[in-house]
C-alpha cells in the first residue's frame, strides 16, 4: 500500500518558515474519545502506592532513577510535582495527580498504537521527508487543573538526538488548549538557529551539556487549539508551556519521531532501547513530480499488533 504525503505546499512552506504547523480537526471526536477513555482505564488500573516518580522539567533529579530510564519501553506514570502534601500523601485523586504517562504507549497499547501508526500520521511524516520514521517516544500529558506543571523552553532534538538531527513532535490536543489552561507557546522561526544544547546520559546520570540561554518571553506566541488539532513541531523549535492554574485540564497526546535512515541515533541519549523500535514504514520512498510539486509515497509495513499485545501486560501490571 502506498501512502502519499498529505501536506499541501502552503502548509509545508509555513512549517519551513515558522517551525510549527497546526492541523485543525486532525482527529475526530470519536478518536479523541477512545484515546481519553483508554487512558482513564489505564489510570484506574494503576496502583499508585507501588510506583511513584515525579516528572519535572526544571529538576533533573528524577531522571537518574531507573523508573525513568525503564519507561523508554514501558507505560509508566509520573506525578505532578505539586501533587503531594508535606507528608508525601496525594492531595487529590490519582486521576488528578499524574503529570504524564510515557514513553511507549504507542508500542504497547493497542488504542494508542492505532493512532500513532495511522495512515494519516505516517502520511504527514512522508510529507516532511522521512524515509524510515520511527516513533521513538509517546507521552500522554495531563496538565492537571490547578497543579499542572510548566514545561520550560526547550528543543526536542536536545532529548532525542540523531546525527544529523531529525526529531519532529506530533502533539495532539485531546482537549481545547488555551492560554488559561497551559497551551503550547513557541518562538516562530527559532528552529532556523539550530540546536542549542543536548541532554546527555552518562555514568553520572543525565545532564545538559550547556546552560539554557535566557529567552525573552515576548518572542513566544501562544498556540491555542481546539481538541482534535495536531501541532507539528520542528525538532529545533524553542517551545514551552506554562503552569495550569485554571480549573480545566489540558490533555494532549504527544509523539516524537526520528528517522532511522540517513542518520545515526546518539548512544548518549537518555533513552536506551533493549529492543529496536519498529519503523512506521519500510524505506521505499517513491518521489513523484507532478505539476512541479514533489509528492512522495511511502510503502508501508504497518506496525505489528501481535508484537504490541504481548508486552503490554508486563508494563502495566
Ligand atoms: O504538552 C506540553 O505542555 C509540552 C509538550 C512538549 O513540549 C513536547 O511534547 O515536546
Q: pLDDT class for 296, splitting at 50, 70, 90?
A: low
118-136 confidence digits (pLDDT tens): 999 999 999 999 999 999 9
Complete DSSP assignment for 113-163: HHHHT-HHHHHHHHHTT-SSEEEEEEEEE---TTTBPPEEEE-GGGTS-EE
| CA nearest ligand 1 atom 1, residue | 141
Interval between CA 285 and ligand 1 midpoint (Å): 30
Strands 221-223 and 184-186, sheet pairing: antiparallel
| 190 Cβ inside 6 Å of ligand 1 | no
Residue 317 has pLDDT above 60, yes or no: no
C-alpha cell at 266: 546518539
How many structural domains comprise the chain? 1
Domain of 252, in residue numbers: 2-316
* Residue 156 near ligand 1, beta carbon < 6 Å: yes
Contact predicate 169/156, CB 8 Å: yes
Q: Is 293 exposed, middle or buried (0-12, 13-18, 19+ CB in 10 A)?
A: exposed
Report the C-alpha gap between 246 and 226 in whole angstroms: 17
Q: Render pLDDT for 182-241 as a digit per residue (tens, 0 to 9).
A: 999 999 999 999 999 999 999 988 999 999 999 999 999 999 999 999 999 999 999 999
- Contact 281 CB / ligand 1 (< 6 Å): no
Closest residue CA from atom 2 of ligand 1: 241
What CATH number does the domain containing 95 carry? 2.60.120.620
**Pairing state of beta strands 20-23 and 230-234?**
antiparallel
Provide the CB-side half-sphere exposure for 39 (13 A, CA): 26
At residue 1, the pLDDT reads: 47
Any atom of ligand 1 within 6 Å of the Cβ of 31: no
* Interior angle at CA 276, CA 58 and CA 198, nearest 5: 30
pTM of the predicted model as reported, rounded to 2 decimal places = 0.88
Cell reading at 112: 494508542
Choose the residue to mutate in 56, 241, 257 for probing ligand 1, maximizing ligand atoms within 8 Å of C-beta. Answer: 241
- Position 135 scores a pLDDT of 97
What lies within 8 Å, CB to CB, of 153 at 6+ separation is 212, 215, 220, 238, 239, 240
Any ligand 1 atom below 6 A from CB of 254 = yes
Q: Model confidence at 261, in pLDDT bands (50, 70, 90)? A: very high
Amino acid at each position: 500500500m502506498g501512502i502519499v504525503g498529505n501536506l499541501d505546499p502552503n502548509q509545508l512552506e509555513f512549517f519551513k518558515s515558522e517551525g510549527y504547523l497546526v492541523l485543525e480537526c486532525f482527529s475526530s471526536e470519536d478518536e479523541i474519545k477512545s484515546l481519553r477513555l483508554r487512558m482513564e482505564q489505564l489510570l484506574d488500573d494503576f496502583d499508585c502506592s507501588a510506583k511513584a516518580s515525579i516528572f519535572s522539567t526544571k529538576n533533573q533529579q528524577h531522571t537518574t532513577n531507573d523508573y525513568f530510564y525503564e519507561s523508554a519501553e514501558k507505560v509508566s506514570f509520573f506525578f505532578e510535582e505539586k501533587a503531594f502534601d508535606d507528608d508525601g500523601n496525594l492531595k487529590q485523586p490519582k486521576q488528578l495527580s499524574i503529570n504524564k504517562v510515557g514513553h511507549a504507549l504507542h508500542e504497547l497499547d493497542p488504542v494508542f498504537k492505532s493512532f500513532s501508526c495511522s495512515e494519516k500520521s505516517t502520511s504527514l511524516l512522508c510529507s516532511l521527508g522521512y524515509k524510515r520514521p520511527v516513533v521513538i517516544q509517546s507521552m500522554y500529558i495531563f496538565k492537571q487543573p490547578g497543579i499542572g506543571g510548566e514545561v520550560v523552553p526547550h528543543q526536542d532534538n536536545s532529548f532525542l538526538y540523531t546525527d544529523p538531527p531529525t526529531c519532529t513532535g506530533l502533539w495532539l490536543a485531546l482537549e481545547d488548549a488555551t492560554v488559561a489552561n497551559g497551551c503550547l507557546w513557541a518562538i516562530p522561526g527559532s528552529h532556523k538557529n539550530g540546536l542549542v544544547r543536548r541532554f546527555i546520559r552518562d555514568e553520572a546520570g543525565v545532564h545538559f551539556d550547556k546552560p539554557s540561554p535566557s529567552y525573552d518571553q515576548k518572542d513566544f506566541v501562544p498556540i491555542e487549539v481546539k481538541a482534535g488539532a495536531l501541532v507539528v513541531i520542528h525538532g529545533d523549535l524553542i517551545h514551552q508551556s506554562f503552569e495550569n492554574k485554571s480549573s480545566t485540564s489540558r490533555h494532549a497526546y504527544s509523539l516524537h519521531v526520528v528517522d532511522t535512515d540517513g542518520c545515526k541515533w546518539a548512544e548518549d541519549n537518555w533513552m536506551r532501547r533493549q529492543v529496536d523500535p519498529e519503523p512506521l514504514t519500510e524505506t521505499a520512498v517513491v518521489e513523484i513530480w507532478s505539476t512541479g510539486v514533489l509528492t512522495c509515497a511511502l510503502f508501508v509495513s504497518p506496525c505489528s499488533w501481535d508484537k504490541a499485545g504481548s508486552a503490554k501486560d508486563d508494563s502495566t501490571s
